[in-house]
């Protein structure tokens, strides 16, 4: 099961998961109007799901190590989660898209 928090306000949007303890499986942060993510200062790697304006996953970066950058020019938003298990990728993408369908 996916449990997303929404990044609200400038500080939360710009810091993302920087000041958070390690996520639990299925937990994530959804950042609107975001095409790029950095992991400078992070204590653990993350996985990224980039979404288009229709909230469909258009790019996945399965494991972004600390002190790195990742971006998707076509993205409208991004979900930050734990590194992605490629064996369950299609199931997770389906869960994310189903969860976001119809959300504001």
Q: Give the pLDDT of residue 104.
A: 61
Count of C-beta atoms within a 10 Å radius of residue 31: 24
Give pLDDT < 70 ranges for the chain: 102, 104
Nearest to 61 by CA among 74, 45, 40: 45
- Cα–Cα distance between 32 and 75 in angstroms, integer? 10
d(CA 44, CA 96): 22
The reported pLDDT for the residue numbered 17 is: 84
Domain count along the chain: 1
pLDDT at 1: 85
- Domain range holding 12? 3-100
Query: What does the pLDDT read at residue 97?
Result: 96
pLDDT for residue 22: 86
Q: Which of 32, 43, 34, 36 is nearest to 82 (CA)?
A: 43
CATH of the domain at 88: 2.60.120.1140
């Amino acid at each position: 099961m996916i449990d997303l928090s929404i990044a609200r306000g400038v500080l939360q949007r710009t810091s993302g998961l920087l000041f958070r303890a390690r996520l639990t499986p299925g937990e994530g942060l959804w950042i609107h109007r975001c095409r790029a993510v950095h992991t400078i200062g992070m204590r653990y790697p993350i996985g990224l799901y980039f979404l288009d304006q229709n909230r469909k996953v258009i790019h996945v970066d399965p494991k972004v190590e600390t002190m790195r950058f990742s971006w998707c020019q076509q993205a409208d938003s991004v979900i930050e989660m734990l590194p992605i298990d490629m064996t369950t990728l299609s199931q997770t993408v389906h869960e994310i898209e189903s969860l976001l369908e119809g959300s504001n």
